[in-house]
A and B are shown apart, each in its own frame.
Chain A
Amino acid sequence: MKYVIIGNATAAIGTVEGIRSVDKYGEIVLISSEPHFTYGRPLISYLLLGKTTEEKMNYRPLDFYETNHVTAMLGRTVTSIDKNIKAVILENGEKVSYDKLAICTGSRPFVPPMEGLDTVERQTPFMTLDDAHRLAELLGEQKDKDVLIIGAGLIGLKCAEGILHLSKSLTIVDMAPRILPNVLDEYGSSFLQRYLEDLGMKFYLSDSVARFSTPNHAIFQSGMELDFDVLVVAVGVRPNTSLAEEIGCEVNRGILVNTHSATTVPGVYAAGDCTVSHDIAADTDRILAILPNAYQQGEAAGVNMAGGDKVFDQAFPMNASGFLGLHMITAGSYDGEAFITTTENSYKKLVVRDNKLVGFILIGDVDRGGIYTSLIRDQVPLDTIDFDLIRQHPQLMAFAKAERAKKLAQPH
């Protein structure tokens, strides 16, 4: 059996490990247009922040490809797939045949049309290690650059976190009326915004750049104008689906996969940010571009490609997105009855719908928050636990005795 994996990030590594958990010897070829050894993609902001170094960013030990017998073709780009001859075709025309194919192509930055954007010299998206390198280079070490970030989503804010200490000033603009609109509720957004503003970030919300004029001057829809030295465009991402689409995989914004990570084309699997998954918290299909999901989807793809049987059906949004000392974890959907506790330094919101916890936000105190996540993941009926107790703080005490025994006295 020969496996080909397109991609080299979380979903791809999950696929490798999934395959190897079933098939120790089948040939694996991994092809990635990035030339780097697999690295933790979200670490790029921490690299700038100084919490990690490039040497430590490897997502797996450096002998990973060897120990897993993976032929890694790095810096090579798949341009198309010929499903009739079951081969992928590289940029130089080289063909790599496969028996089973995994598409883990991730996503690419989405850049909306902005007048004069092409005139901005010192700009970068913030998706890859190369982007981080470029940004560091643009900023230099003098702390003398005014930075403008377009986008107050996760990418924009993580970037902001990473470079605040390297910037003279940092301004973030977003069309949305609040920051992290996909992750937080309104109170959470404002809580976080206040915190970040206290650290020196400036936000322009419900606004956007109308046009850029040289040199490095932005004119906003609201009429405000701003000079900057460095521009980061972090408006959003689009899944890379074209390879899949071309061979007939069904695509609806992202590649459609079932709970076995199989696409609609036999023998072809897909995992990670390029796919659409079923969000069990909101009970809808959507792109869930988050790392734990990517890994588990990839792992399921790998196991199933190798003839095993693994289902991943517990996808839902979850984010650990602390910023500069403010810890924050969130998960699920906020559509339902909310139970809120606030203090000066913390915010907690639990969202209940149909006798289940469907979402939560923990800001400040995140201790043992995974227990809440498990309630969403396992769709635990809340009348089987002591919800009043678990609302106070996450604890196993809230589960019934037999359930506790299962958790603590059995192997998992």
Chain B
Amino acid sequence: MKRVYVNEKWCLGCHLCEYNCAFANSGVDDMVKALKGKTIAPRIRVEESDSINFAVSCRHCDNPLCVKGCISGALSIQDGVISIDSDKCVGCYTCVLSCPYGCISTSEAGAVQKCELCTKNADGIPQCVAGCPNNAIVFEER
């Protein structure tokens, strides 16, 4: 299955992935309209230090502790993609507690949010990958 993989060697710490993610999941068709004046809450996040940067988003594990620990059945695996049904999610954060990569985040709305590989908003390729200027994030079979 194709997943998002990160190679920190090439991450520039430009944070474009975060903005592209926030835009892709905004439901708005113009980036300016979607993001101007807002604090973004992307599903991918860049960790940075002086010389190292890398983006982190859901690994879509084969053995997903988040799904196994989900009390409501809101998290599930669909064709390998770990998806969140935000309607069912009650915001208990067991998944936040379970995820070894810190890839499920809380949101204002209550339900948690996480990367769903843009399966619900864009065709083909996750937008963090599409917009990465240096192939630091790739979407491929490994």
Please list the residues of chain A having a beta carbon within 8 angstroms of any beta carbon in chain B: 10, 14, 40-43, 46, 51-52, 56-61, 291-292, 295-296, 299, 318-322, 327, 329, 331, 366-371, 373-374, 377-378, 394-397, 401, 404-405, 407-412
Given A299-B68, A408-B54, residue A52 in contact with residue B90 (CB < 8 A): yes
Q: Which residues of B contact A296 (CB under 8 A)?
A: 68
Cα A405 to Cα B142 with chains together (Å) = 13
Question: Does the CB pair A52–B5 fall under 8 Å?
Answer: no
Cα A10 to Cα B68 with chains together (Å) = 9
Cα A252 to Cα B77 with chains together (Å) = 36
Q: Which residues of A contact B3 (CB under 8 A)?
A: 411
Number of residue pairs A-B, CB distance < 8 angstroms: 141
Nearest-CB distance from B34 to chain A (Å)? 23
Q: Which residues of A contact B8 (CB under 8 A)?
A: 401, 404-405, 408
Q: Which residues of A contact B54 (CB under 8 A)?
A: 396-397, 404, 408
B131 near A: Cβ within 8 Å?
no
Top 9 A-B pairs, shortest CB-CB distance: A368-B102, A292-B69, A374-B100, A370-B99, A408-B6, A412-B61, A320-B93, A320-B94, A46-B90
Cα A10 to Cα B70 with chains together (Å) = 10
Question: Does the CB pair A367–B102 fall under 8 Å?
Answer: yes
Looking at the complex, which one of A40, A396, A412 makes contact with B102 (CB distance below 8 Å)? A396
Q: Which residues of A contact B90 (CB under 8 A)?
A: 43, 46, 51-52
Q: Which residues of B contact A56 (CB under 8 A)?
A: 72, 87-88
Question: Does the CB pair B68–A318 fall under 8 Å?
Answer: no
Question: Does the CB pair A395–B47 fall under 8 Å?
Answer: yes
B98 near A: Cβ within 8 Å?
yes
Interface size on B, residues (CB 8 A): 44
Q: Which of B75-110 contact A (CB under 8 A)?
A: 87-88, 90-106, 110
Cα A396 to Cα B54 with chains together (Å) = 9
Nearest-CB distance from A188 to chain B (Å)? 15
Cα A401 to Cα B94 with chains together (Å) = 28
Question: Does the CB pair B93–A407 fall under 8 Å?
Answer: no
Write the chain A residue with the least CB distance to B73: A59
Please list the residues of chain B having a beta carbon within 8 angstroms of any beta carbon in chain A: 1, 3, 5-8, 47-49, 52, 54, 56, 59-63, 65, 68-69, 71-73, 87-88, 90-106, 110, 142
Write the chain B residue with the least CB distance to A59: B73
Interface of B is mostly: loop
Looking at the complex, which one of A52, A299, A367, A373 makes contact with B72 (CB distance below 8 Å)? A52
Cα A378 to Cα B91 with chains together (Å) = 26
Looking at the complex, which one of B47, B61, B93, B100 makes contact with A327 (CB distance below 8 Å)? B93
Cα A408 to Cα B93 with chains together (Å) = 23
Q: Which residues of A contact B142 (CB under 8 A)?
A: 409-411
Q: In this complex, which of A41, A42, A299, A373 has the most chain B Cβ atoms within 10 angstroms of its Cβ?
A: A373
Given A367-B106, A374-B100, residue A412 in contact with residue B62 (CB < 8 A): yes
Question: Does the CB pair A370–B106 fall under 8 Å?
Answer: no
Cα A412 to Cα B61 with chains together (Å) = 5
Question: Does the CB pair A373–B100 fall under 8 Å?
Answer: yes
Q: Which residues of B contact A318 (CB under 8 A)?
A: 97-98
A-B contact pairs, 8 of them (CB 8 A): A10-B71, A59-B72, A320-B94, A367-B96, A369-B96, A373-B98, A397-B52, A409-B6
Write the chain A residue with the least CB distance to B137: A408
Write the chain B residue with the least CB distance to A158: B92
Nearest-CB distance from B108 to chain A (Å)? 12
Question: Does the CB pair B106–A292 fall under 8 Å?
Answer: no
Looking at the complex, which one of B59, B87, B96 makes contact with A368 (CB distance below 8 Å)? B96
Cα A321 to Cα B103 with chains together (Å) = 19
Q: Which residues of A contact B5 (CB under 8 A)?
A: 408-410
Q: Which residues of B contact A291 (CB under 8 A)?
A: 69, 71, 94
Question: Does the CB pair B110–A51 fall under 8 Å?
Answer: yes
